[in-house]
Amino acid sequence: MSNLDPRDWVAADPDPLTRAELSKLNADQLRERFAGTLHFGTAGLRGPVRAGPAGMNVAVVTRATHALGRALSAEGLDGATVVVGRDARHGSPEFASATAEVLAAQGFDVIALPGPTPTPLVAFGCRDLDAAAAVAITASHNPPTDNGYKVYLTGGAQLVPPADRRIEQLIETAPAADAIARRRVSRDHRADANAERYLDRLVTRFGRVHRSPVRIALTAMHGVGGSLALAALRRAGFADLHVVPEQFAPDPDFPTVRFPNPEEPGASDRVLALAERVDADLVIALDPDADRCAIGTRVHGTWRMLTGDETGALLGGYLLAGTELTEPVVASTIVSGSMLQSVAAAAGAHHVRTLTGFKWLVRAGEPLLYAYEEAIGHCVDPDAVRDKDGIAAAVVAAMLTDRRLTMGSDLSAALDELSLAHGVHVTAQRSIRVTDVDQITDLMSALRTSPPRAPAGIPVDLDDFATRDDGLRTDAVQLTGRTADGVSLRVIARPSGTEPKLKYYLEVIAPPGRADVTRTSEQLYELVGRVAAELPGGEP
């Protein structure tokens, strides 16, 4: 069905709701709906829940699943096991059913996980059950109008090129949705046991503490991770748990937040307020599908969420201190901060920097101990989940907090210790939102041909990642420099992969040994602001 004629599409749409939606549109609206298709990339599909080939709907999911099945068969995987799970977003039950039933009709052994499921359970099931693939119906922390279709392949890692292109080509030649067979999938004991096996694995990997005094405030951000997170924490020995009640149950409209993303300003206000009321030691904010986790604590007397880079250094240091591996690998991306690299060097570990995304991070090398990206994604148990896992990260954060309390210390002191040993690291992001994507091309061109010579008075050198041949080639540029007193500057500029924005990732690092961490941090934040103001596009 490569010719997407609106009348043919409507006639073949198996969902009466989206058929009716398209039937009510006028000619101009139909042209807009059929001007393009939803692109299948390394993260699968993601887009607005609406009728037509450019939206997430049963017809699109049916054809994408048919293509996935054909791709697996082409690799000699006929009849192999495939795991299917979903979150609680609008359309997720219908999309998951279509996915499972199309694969079953193609002869695959389909394990459909019951009910709304955190995405890490899907990735875990793929690896634990030795499945050829897994599909998670989720749009993670996107707005409530969106949904998505995320694919894992053998080993439980996200697919990488050219697998995505092969599947997209097969989508283009897929039959009309109503011509694709479906077969009902029965309940499976392997699906029912998946969550319990995941919880057992957490205890096996990280152990449990006895009656931990750690008090935890947690929000599920209206997502599907709350119950499993509480079960995981309790099994690990943490009983003093407090939740934001109005954000605990799954709700696809995310009514109490503007954006269901713990990174967004204001998104974690309620859990921080709860933490202050109950005098918590640790704040945990999951995103809606629980694959990401932000943590917070009282830092120098003020409650705040930690940055992804701060959390990455803390968790990485904790895992490195407890590993028995002789040459462990830890990984972060080109836009993440540099603290983990320094922590790894001090621990005798090997640090690898990758392109953005966990599809690259989990392929950084072996034995992989830990990987993170600055966008609060943490892979803390890659032998079990080859992707970011907010629930496992929450357990590790609780274990770290318990260790600090046992020492008569806390996470704030742990951050200060890292700064004293490795230098104060300050990271920040700035985004330039545009109305025309050509403006992003112009800004990137300006950075390449006429980069700032000395932002905030710091002479910088240019590194164009588009010309690299070390596996890090991508559309990004890096500026690096150093002040006379040893403060280093690094700026990465790259187009956003999901929005019409140019993103700047800034990092400034003071040399180790500066005793007044608070004062040094204030100075570095001020420097970051001055640098950002002199970058192409100006200070947003």
Q: What is the DSSP string of 394-436?
A: HHHHHHHHHHHHHTT--HHHHHHHHHHHH--EEEEEEEEE-SS
Q: Which of 390, 421, 452 is the last residue of a domain?
A: 421
Give per-residue pLDDT as tens, 251-293. 999 999 999 999 999 999 999 999 999 999 999 999 999 999 9
Q: Is residue 286 included in any domain, yes or no?
A: yes
Residues 152, 81: one domain?
yes
389 residue type, one letter: D
Query: For residue 67, which of 177, 210, 205 has the smallest C-alpha distance?
Result: 177
Q: Rounded to 5 degrees, what angle do the CA atoms 161, 163, 164 make?
A: 80
Q: Is residue 539 included in any domain, yes or no?
A: no
Inter-helix orientation angle 308-322/411-422, to 10°: 90
Q: Which residues contact 348 (CB under 8 A, 6 or more apart)?
A: 327
Q: Taking 70 as the threshold, does the pLDDT of residue 160 lie above it?
A: yes
Residues 146, 273: one domain?
no
Inter-helix orientation angle 390-406/308-322, to 10°: 70
Q: Taking 70 as the threshold, does the pLDDT of residue 177 lie above it?
A: yes
Identify the band that residue 5 occupies on the pLDDT scale cut at 50, 70 and 90.
confident
Q: Is residue 44 included in any domain, yes or no?
A: yes
Q: Is residue 528 included in any domain, yes or no?
A: yes
Strands (E) across 205-347 are located at 215-219, 240-243, 282-286, 293-299, 302-305, 329-333
Query: For residue 15, which of 60, 64, 59 has the smallest C-alpha distance?
Result: 59
The C-alpha atoms of residue 180 and residue 173 are separated, in whole angstroms, by: 12
Residues 83, 203: one domain?
no
286: left (phi over 0), alpha (psi -120 to 50) or beta: beta
Residues 454, 513: one domain?
yes
Residues 388, 478: one domain?
no
Tell whether pTM > 0.85. yes
pLDDT at 1: 55
Q: Which of 142, 174, 191 is the last residue of a domain?
A: 191
360: left (phi over 0), alpha (psi -120 to 50) or beta: alpha
CATH code of the domain in which 461 resides: 3.30.310.50
Q: Which tops the pLDDT comparison, 369 or 300?
A: 369
Range of the domain at 463: 424-533
List 463's β-bridge partners, or say none: 478
How many domains does one find in the chain? Answer: 3
Q: Centre a 10 Å sphere on the Cβ of residue 278 and count the other Cβ atoms it contains.
A: 14
Give per-residue pLDDT as tens, 399-422. 999 999 999 999 999 999 999 999
Residues 311, 350: one domain?
yes
The C-alpha atoms of residue 340 and residue 180 are separated, in whole angstroms, by: 49
Q: Centre a 10 Å sphere on the Cβ of residue 150 and count the other Cβ atoms it contains.
A: 25
Identify the band that residue 513 occupies on the pLDDT scale cut at 50, 70 and 90.
confident
Query: For residue 15, which of 64, 60, 46, 47 has the smallest C-alpha distance?
Result: 60
DSSP structure class, residue 237: T
List 530's β-bridge partners, or say none: none
| Over residues 506-514, mean pLDDT | 94
pLDDT at 540: 43
Residues 339, 402: one domain?
yes
The C-alpha atoms of residue 200 and residue 223 are separated, in whole angstroms, by: 23
Residues 125, 180: one domain?
yes
Q: What is the average pLDDT score of the chain?
A: 96
Q: Is residue 402 included in any domain, yes or no?
A: yes
DSSP structure class, residue 162: T
pLDDT at 462: 97
In the numeric block, the tokens 């009656």 are attached to 211
Residues 469, 395: one domain?
no
Residue 58: both structure tokens together:
């049963």
Q: Is residue 540 included in any domain, yes or no?
A: no
Q: Which of 421, 440, 474 is the last residue of a domain?
A: 421
Annotated catalytic residues are 140
The C-alpha atoms of residue 245 and residue 222 are separated, in whole angstroms, by: 10
Q: What is the dihedral of CA 36, 42, 48, 54, to 10 degrees?
A: 20
Q: Positive or negative, the Cα torsion across 294, 386, 169, 111?
A: negative
Residues 416, 484: one domain?
no
The C-alpha atoms of residue 356 and residue 476 are separated, in whole angstroms, by: 11
Identify the band that residue 499 occupies on the pLDDT scale cut at 50, 70 and 90.
confident
List 503's β-bridge partners, or say none: 431, 494
Give per-residue pLDDT as tens, 220-237. 999 999 999 999 999 999
Residues 270, 375: one domain?
yes
The C-alpha atoms of residue 86 and residue 117 are separated, in whole angstroms, by: 6
pLDDT at 44: 92
Asked whether 235 and 205 are in contact (CB, 8 A), the reply is: no
CATH code of the domain in which 381 resides: 3.40.120.10
Residues 208, 357: one domain?
yes
b (16+ CB within 10 A) / e for 96-106? bbbbbbbbbbb
| Over residues 319-340, mean pLDDT | 97
| Over residues 160-183, mean pLDDT | 96
Q: Is residue 380 included in any domain, yes or no?
A: yes
Q: Is residue 538 included in any domain, yes or no?
A: no
